[in-house]
Amino acid sequence: MSGIPALPALPPRGAAARRPVRLTAEERAVRRRDYFSAILFMAPALLLVSIFLLAPVVYNILISFTGWSHFKGFNRFVGLANYRHAINNPDFSAAASNTVVWVIASLVLPVLIGLGLAVLLRGLKGEEFLKTIFFLPRLVAPTAIGAIWYYVYADNGVVNTILKQVGAGRFAESWLYQASTATPAMIIAYVWQTTGLVMVLLLLGLAALPRDPIEAATVEGASRWQIFRHIVLPMLMPTVLVVTTISIIAGFTTFDLVWVMGRDYPNPSSLTLAIHQYWESFRSGHWAYGAAIAVLLGGIALIVTLLQVILQQRVESRIR
Amino acid sequence: MSVAGSSRRFALAGAATLAVLWLVPFYYAVSTICKSTAQYLSGTPLSLPPSLSSLPGNIEAAWAQTQMGQGMLNSLGYGVLGAGGAVLAAASAAYALARIVFPARTTWFMVIFAGTVFPFQIYLIPLFQGYARFGLLNTRLGLLMAYMAICVPFPTLVLRNHMGQIPRDLDEAARMDGCSHFRIFRSIILPNSTGPLIALFLLQFTWIWNDLIFSMVLTTETAQRSVMNALMVFQGNYAGTTPNLVITASVLASLPTVAVFLLLRRYFMQGLSLSVHA
Amino acid sequence: MKRRDVLAAFAAAALAGQFRQGLAATDLKLYHDKYFWQDFLKKMATFAASKGHPFTPTPYATDQYQAFIASGVQAGSPPDMFSWWNGTKLAELVEANALAPLDDVWHEAISSGEAEQSVADLLTVDGHVYGVPLTVNYWGVAYNKALFAKAGVTVPTSWDELMTISAKLKASGITPFNATIQDGWRGFIWFEELLIRTDPDAYAQLNAGKIGYTSAPVKRVFALWGELYQRGFFTPATSNEEFLDFARGKAAMYLIGDWAYANLMQDGLQPGKDFDAFIMPNVEKSLQPSIIIEASPLVISRAGAKKDDVMSFARWWMTPEAGVAWGQYASLNTGDPKVPKPNPVVASLTNAVTATHAKLITRYWEASPSDIVLPAVEQFNKFMVNPTPAVAEQCMNSIEHTAKDYWANNK
């Protein structure tokens, strides 16, 4: 939850706009001192961010254009070779297509179920209780969730046992070992974990909506669905957009859950792009190639965020 | 109205069914931690444990084999110092950005905020390589600094918005009286921001506690690794581990954040709404 | 308010103090990626400390271990002392100028009869010996004596016999072979074994990049491997309790390095009584007996070699005193001639190797370049989960793609 919020609204400009035309010497001195204090106040944050985040980003981009050697490090400029290697690498293609499945599923399922639950549970008698049930998985760390679901899907685990008990034993499967089932199985665990959060975020959005238009429409005899479709949903759109962006980026960078559940997979490197990146760099020592994958992931995140900003502005201008 | 009522009952039934399904993994986890290894291996995964008598033994074994005490202590340190330091650094930066007039504020803000635009994957290799070079690999300090840095940008955004909304009369009067920026920050702005500060601290603390990838990449020795890393190693180290112990360890590792949530629910919800409305 | 501040400051200071402690460790660390030995190494550390050679065994997650060492080497500061492998893996480190040769140490030890030239040969790169042996392991076939008796079969002396007893075991409801992809690295075991049993020359050529992974010998291995799977001779590859599975009698035979015997003993089997081991017979009758050998050295970095405590530890490790203790704690063959074999199974396997003059063949993991081995193992894993001809074809093509790439850049 640390990163990936919406891009900020720009700060109120009032103070800056009130700039006087001419400054006295004393005022200039105050300004200089203010600038100096501002830098001092920002210094810890600036230092932390530039040393541990921004410099690494630059370094990562640079090395993605170099060649690697297992023990000698980055030795020569190779242009786009690492990126070309990605295109020719079957594990990369598999990981990329799995990641697309992840993004779509982790977007559609939690948002859909979460939206349904949010609308459904609102104002219900057992709202708090049911909300807590759906939110509960979110409180458990993804690593722990992965460990629990790992055994749910084990050969003698929960799923296979239930299948055998209901006489469907022939459908029992090594869920986390087969290319066709591993990704869906992990996505189910992921949906189980994230839907509650999405629901709560949407409920917060719903709670913030103005009541008047809804009440007016009710008086005019609009059906619940009409009210939802034509009044609630458009007003909720900004929240849905933020939640969508969070979901997309979280979906395609999910690491812990997939790692804990998927490291027994025959070739984990083909599971998702985040795992591919980790595996190629930290297990196989293909640092420069791993850096290139990270750049690709960063590029996708940037595009998604930009899209969200553009859509957000559109939606907001339509509401006003 | 009766049609709407029945469709609502139908929907409620659906939600209730879904809720029951949602609880199955919890039921599995809770019943499993009450089974001895022999009981787990001989019964079916969803069978009820015969008694609670195996639970203390499981907790003891999982705690010892994971070296969870060490992991929890480490994670507590990372969480408290990392989230605390980050929120303080963010508050101080937010003060400058929201309350001091100086040129190119937006640009300065964007420099700090740029840290949230990238997925974590882009930091891993540079941090690992850089840490290896400067001797920070497998040190608590190294991991702590990485956590702290990651937790700065988002609180900066939230606190800047919050501090921008605190009435200006307060500190303008104080400035007239010759108060320094530090005094204003310390005695006017911070006390007026405790709500968001606590909410943000909790949000970042939970994130650090739950993080796996940075701890995996930057620390792998028992003495420095976080509780989630310890859990991951235990789960993957099949020799001598059994499902009941791994799941006991998973539950143990999750309890602190669950407890914090239950105790400070209000602030948590505030933190969540911050992440949408920021 | 004030008092709370003071308390908070104290708490922060206490935590910070706790943190600083972690930075101060100065003792000699032995890095390794063998979690299943950590308990044995801890016992060894206690013993070593009592003899004036304290060290701290420091386990590292296997999948990150090579990256960890590699990054240290790149940064010019690898750990002083760490476990490694022989063959190509050792040569890669030597080529990166990361290791100090220990020719003197070996010379002394060999001339005093405490070390064997044959072990030194395993750890020699370009005429210099690197590291001291942690273990020297033969890869024989462990078999469950009770299950053999139950099915009325005896140790096979030829491939045909092996197939006959496997069929018999299968008919009595016993799976012949225990094999999984646990921990992600095991996929190569049967590939390598079947290749050296059918065409050892091709094995050498494959490792040197002279033939490809779609060549006839490799195809033959996959066909044979698939046939064994089809006949139901293997346990499911998806179990993650490989040692335990064998200890519980889920399969009659287990092709694994003799280091695993310690784990089988931990899981309740008695060496010699419950299980023993034999050398896998060749598929091609004309071939001379051979066995896979794996040497795991403890290597010393150039920086480490300059430190007295590191070098005196390395010398001590070569002595029978250390060898006997280590062999006993870990039930391992330490490669030290003065040390008695740690358990009867290792002893009988060693005797069989000596008696048959079996040719020692370097394990695939150490014989092929890492950049091929790691992706190849994943492909072998894939095949073991879905052992069909179609998957075999995919695996061969995929590895060939990787290998071609590698050899094009590294000739």
pLDDT of residue C1 exceeding 60: no
User: Following CA atoms C229, C234, C239, C240 in sequence, which dihedral angle do they give, to the nearest 10 degrees?
Assistant: -120
Nearest Cα residue to C177 out of C163, C192, C197? C163
Q: Domains in chain C and their CATH numbers?
A: 28-136+294-350 (3.40.190.10), 138-292+364-409 (3.40.190.10)
Helices A158-165, A142-152: inter-axial angle, 10-degree rounding: 30
Q: What pLDDT is stored for residue C64 in this prediction?
A: 74
- Neighbouring chains of A at 3+ CB pairs under 8 Å are B, C
User: What is A81-319's CATH topology?
Assistant: MetI-like fold (1.10.3720)
Could you tell me the pTM of the whole model? Answer: 0.88
Q: What pLDDT is stored for residue A211 in this prediction?
A: 83
State which of A3-7, A265-269, C169-173, C370-374 shows the largest mean pLDDT. C169-173
Q: Cβ contacts (< 8 Å) between C59 and chain B: which residues?
A: 222
pLDDT of residue A53 exceeding 70: yes
- Kindly list the domain boundaries of chain A, sorted by start residue: 81-319
Gap from C276 CA to chain B (nearest CA, Å): 21
Instruction: Mark which residues 201-220 of A lie under 8 Å from B by CB.
Output: 201, 204-205, 208
Gap from B113 CA to chain C (nearest CA, Å): 27
Of the two residues A205 and B1, the one the predictor is more confident about is: A205
pLDDT of residue C13 exceeding 60: no
Asked if A264's CB is within 8 angstroms of C184's CB, the reply is yes
Q: Cβ contacts (< 8 Å) between A259 and chain B: which residues?
A: 212-213, 232
- Report the DSSP beta bridge partners of residue C124: C129
Residue A4's pLDDT band, with cuts at 50, 70 and 90, is: very low
Q: Distance between the two ends of chain A, CA-based, in angstroms?
A: 30
Instruction: Mark which residues 360-399 of C lie under 8 Å from A by CB.
Output: 370-371, 374-375, 378-379, 381-382, 384-386, 398
Q: What pLDDT is stored for residue C24 in this prediction?
A: 37
pLDDT of residue B197 exceeding 70: yes
Q: How far apart are alpha carbons C9 and C5 in whole angstroms?
A: 6
Q: What is the pLDDT of residues A175-202, one digit of tens each?
A: 999 999 999 999 999 999 999 888 888 8
Q: How far apart are alpha carbons C107 and C113 in whole angstroms?
A: 10
Asked if B86's CB is within 8 angstroms of A48's CB, the reply is yes
Whether B97 contacts B108, CB under 8 Å? yes
Residue C12's pLDDT band, with cuts at 50, 70 and 90, is: low
Mean pLDDT computed over every residue of chain C: 89
Distances (CA, A) of B191 to B68, B83, B91, C215, C392: 37, 18, 11, 75, 67
Q: What pLDDT is stored for residue C411 in this prediction?
A: 67
**Residues 6 or more apart in contact with residue C59 via CB below 8 angstroms:** B222, C32, C33, C34, C35, C38
Q: How many CB pairs under 8 A join A and B?
A: 317
Q: What is the pLDDT of residues C85-125, one digit of tens each?
A: 999 889 989 998 999 999 999 999 999 888 888 889 999 99
Chain B interface mutation, best of A48, A209, A236, A289, highest count of B Cβ atoms under 10 Å: A48
pLDDT of residue C7 exceeding 70: no
User: How many residues can be counted in chain A?
Assistant: 320
Q: Which residue of chain B has the CA closest to C36?
A: B239
pLDDT of residue A276 exceeding 90: yes
Q: What pLDDT is stored for residue C5 in this prediction?
A: 54
Q: Which residue of chain C has the CA closest to A279?
A: C63
Q: Helix or strand or coil: residue B36?
A: coil
- Neighbouring chains of B at 3+ CB pairs under 8 Å are A, C
Phi, psi dihedrals of residue C300, rounded to the nearest 5°: -115, 130
Q: Which CATH number fits domain B66-277: 1.20.1270.360, 3.40.50.410, 2.30.40.10, 1.10.3720.10?
A: 1.10.3720.10
Please report which residue ranges of chain B form alpha helices under DSSP H: 2-32, 37-42, 54-66, 68-77, 84-99, 105-113, 121-134, 140-150, 153-164, 168-176, 181-184, 194-210, 213-218, 227-236, 243-263, 265-277
Closest to B278 (Cβ–Cβ): which among A5, A144, A197?
A5
Chain A interface mutation, best of C66, C74, C92, C395, highest count of A Cβ atoms under 10 Å: C74
Whether B156 contacts B93, CB under 8 Å? yes
**Residues 6 or more apart in contact with residue C52 via CB below 8 angstroms:** none
Of the two residues B257 and A18, the one the predictor is more confident about is: B257
Q: How many CB pairs under 8 A join A and C?
A: 76
Report the pLDDT averaged over residues C204-211.
96
User: How many residues can be counted in chain C?
Assistant: 411
Provide the percentage of residues in chain B whose pLDDT is more than 90: 58
Q: Read off the tokens for B139.
A: 């040190």
> Poorest-confidence range of A121-125, A298-302, C78-82?
A121-125
Q: Which residue of chain C has the CA closest to A281?
A: C67
Q: What pLDDT is stored for residue C282 in this prediction?
A: 97
pLDDT of residue A299 exceeding 80: yes
Gap from B225 CA to chain C (nearest CA, Å): 11
Q: What is the pLDDT of residues C335-365, one digit of tens each?
A: 777 788 889 999 999 999 999 999 999 999 9
Q: Helix or strand or coil: residue C28?
A: coil
Q: Three-state SS string across chain A, please?
A: CCCCCCCCCCCCCHHHHCCCCCCCHHHHHHHHHHHHHHHHHHHHHHHHHHHHHHHHHHHHHHHCCEEEECCCEEEEECCCHHHHHHHHCHHHHHHHHHHHHHHHHHHHHHHHHHHHHHHHHCCCCCHHHHHHHHHHHHHCCHHHHHHHHHHHCCCCCHHHHHHHHCCCHHHCCCCCCCHHHHHHHHHHHHHHHHHHHHHHHHHHHHHCCCCHHHHHHHHCCCCHHHHHHHHHHHHHHHHHHHHHHHHHHHHHHCCHHHHHHHCCCCCHHHCCHHHHHHHHHHHCCCHHHHHHHHHHHHHHHHHHHHHHHHHHHHHHHHHC
Gap from C397 CA to chain A (nearest CA, Å): 11
pLDDT of residue A5 exceeding 50: no
Asked if C240's CB is within 8 angstroms of B220's CB, the reply is no
Q: What is the pLDDT of residues C37-86, one digit of tens each?
A: 888 899 999 999 999 999 999 887 776 788 788 878 877 788 999 999 99
